[in-house]
């Protein structure tokens, strides 16, 4: 009774008394079909509950209309906002979006690139900073080439290029500049001993933020104290624990530059628990401007990254199309979005 296999284009054709080619034309509207015929076909489609088979369609040549995005974790707002940008822009261009998570595993990441390649995605977007690792970079490069050879594109979103000989497109944001700016802001508020806290030390993101931080210090002629730099992870837990330790050690500092907002949240919680007032005694700044920055009390001064826009740019770049307000779409392989300091309530003058 129940037909487990759905109707095919041939079934529709038979029912409408036409050839399968005609049905295809009715569906794709890419060839003239008499109105009466069209109506007959449409009726047959409705009666049979026919739904095109995207695989057969993709096989037969029409592009697959799919983009893939690979992130660490959907729940992390940093990635979620980028994913939203990708999803929206993909939809805007009639593409479906496949979201995959690596949970931070390189192995998984490489496997996912392959999987997306198998699916013949129009583009695969790799999001987030990369760890320094020659072998790993080589693997990514190999896949970028494979994708390229197949007519697809690997887009690096928020991580540095793999070199000019690797066919990728890149969406960058000004990591170093943002860190420079917010550090400078802290310095102009009179802070001299600024603690840099968090971020895996081998991650490109951390490296860039730390570089910007150091450049600001240097420019203002401030010393780069080793004991004031504590890389680690991007977790709240890290911020919380490390601050507690440092407080116990009675380390001298008047401000904390947390490597991201999540770490800053941990920092603020530890400070609150220790009875240290923010920004009265200690000033705190973060990076990313994810929602938690506005939930914290005091609200967090941080660096804003146009995350959603980065996601959108990534698919535009990959698809080679123009944005909504863009005048023209030069075929570019890299774009860079700016970062801005958002001043809120977590910094006070040190004077």
Partner DNA sequence: TTCTCCATAGAACGCGCTTACTATGGCCTT
Partner DNA sequence: AAGGCCATAGTAAGCGCGTTCTATGGAGAA
Which residues would be at the binding site for DNA (CB under 7 A)? Answer: 5, 8-10, 17-22, 24-25, 27-28, 30-34, 36-37, 50, 52-53, 56-57, 59-62
Nearer to a second copy, 45 or 187 (CB): 45
> Tokens 């005609």 identify what position?
22
Rounded to an integer, what distance in angstroms lies between the CA atom of residue 121 and that of residue 135? 25
Compare residues 84 and 106 and give the one whose CB is closer to a second copy: 84
Minimum CB distance to DNA, residue 55 (Å): 7
113-139: burial string, b at 16+ Cβ within 10 Å, e else:
beebbebbbbbbbbbbbbbeeeeebeb
Q: Which is nearer to DNA, 20 or 201 (CB)?
A: 20
Q: Which is nearer to DNA, 42 or 73 (CB)?
A: 42
Q: Shortest Cβ distance from residue 219 to a second copy (Å)?
A: 35
30 binds, among DNA, a second copy, none (CB under 5 to 8 A by kind): DNA
- CB-based contacts of 83, cutoff 8 Å, min separation 6: 69, 71, 74, 99, 127, 311
d(CA 160, CA 170): 7
336 binds, among a second copy, DNA, none (CB under 5 to 8 A by kind): none
- Distance between CA atoms of residues 337 and 310, nearest Å: 7
In the complex, what is the shortest distance from the CB of residue 6 to a second copy, in angstroms, rounded to a whole number?
A: 4
In the complex, the smallest distance separating the C-beta of residue 14 from DNA, rounded to whole angstroms, is: 10
C-beta of 143: minimal distance to a second copy in Å?
9
- Which of the choices a second copy, DNA, none does residue 349 contact, using the CB cut-off of 5 to 8 A by kind? none
Handedness of CA 44, 46, 47, 48 (dihedral sign): positive
- Least Å distance between CB 3 and a second copy? 6
The candidate with the shortest Cα–Cα distance to 82, out of 306, 311, 314, is 311
Q: Which residues partner with 154 through β-bridges?
A: 124, 168
CB 250 within 8 A of CB 312: no
Place of tokens 């931080």: 213
User: Least separation, in Å, of the C-beta of 113 and DNA?
Assistant: 17
Question: CB atoms < 10 A from the CB of 31, how many?
Answer: 10
CB contact at 8 A, 176 and 212:
yes
* Cβ nearer to DNA, comparing 37 with 108: 37
Indicate which of a second copy, DNA, none lies near residue 74 (CB less than 5 to 8 Å, by partner kind). a second copy
Q: Which residues bind a second copy (CB under 8 A)?
A: 2-6, 49, 51-59, 64, 73-75, 77, 80-81, 83-84, 87-88, 91, 96-101, 114-120, 142, 145-146, 149-151, 265, 291-292, 295-297
11 vs 184, beta carbon nearer DNA: 11
């Amino acid at each position: 009774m129940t037909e487990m296999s759905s109707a095919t284009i041939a079934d529709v054709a038979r029912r409408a008394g036409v050839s399968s080619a005609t049905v295809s034309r009715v569906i794709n509207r890419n060839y003239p079909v008499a109105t009466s015929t069209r109506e007959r076909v449409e009726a047959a489609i409705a009666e049979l509950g026919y739904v095109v088979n995207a695989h057969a369609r993709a096989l037969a040549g029409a592009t697959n209309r799919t983009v893939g995005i690979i992130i660490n974790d959907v729940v992390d707002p940093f990635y979620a906002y980028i994913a939203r940008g990708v999803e929206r822009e993909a939809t805007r261009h009639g593409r479906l979006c496949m979201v995959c998570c690596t949970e931070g595993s390189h192995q998984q990441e490489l496997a996912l690139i392959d999987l997306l390649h198998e699916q013949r995605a129009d583009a695969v977007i790799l999001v987030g900073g990369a760890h320094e690792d020659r072998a790993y970079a080589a693997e990514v490069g190999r896949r970028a080439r494979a994708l390229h050879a197949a007519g697809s594109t690997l887009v690096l979103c928020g991580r540095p290029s793999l070199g000019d000989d690797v066919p990728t497109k890149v969406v960058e944001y000004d990591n170093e500049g943002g860190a420079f700016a917010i550090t400078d802001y802290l310095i102009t508020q009179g802070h001299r001993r600024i603690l840099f806290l968090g971020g895996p030390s081998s991650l490109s993101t951390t490296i860039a933020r730390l570089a910007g931080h150091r450049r600001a210090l240097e420019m203002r002629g401030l010393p780069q104290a080793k004991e004031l730099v504590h890389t680690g992870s991007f977790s709240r837990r890290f911020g919380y624990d490390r601050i507690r330790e440092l407080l116990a050690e009675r380390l001298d500092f008047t401000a904390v530059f947390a490597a991201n907002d999540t770490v800053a949240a941990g920092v603020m919680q530890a400070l609150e628990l220790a009875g240290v007032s923010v920004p009265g005694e200690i000033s705190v700044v973060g990076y990313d401007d994810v929602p938690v920055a506005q939930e914290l009390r005091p609200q967090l001064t941080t660096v804003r990254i146009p995350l959603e826009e980065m996601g959108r740019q990534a698919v535009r770049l990959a698809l080679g199309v123009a944005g909504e307000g863009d005048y023209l779409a030069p075929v570019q392989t890299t774009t860079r979005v700016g970062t801005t300091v958002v001043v809120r309530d977590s910094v006070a003058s040190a004077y």
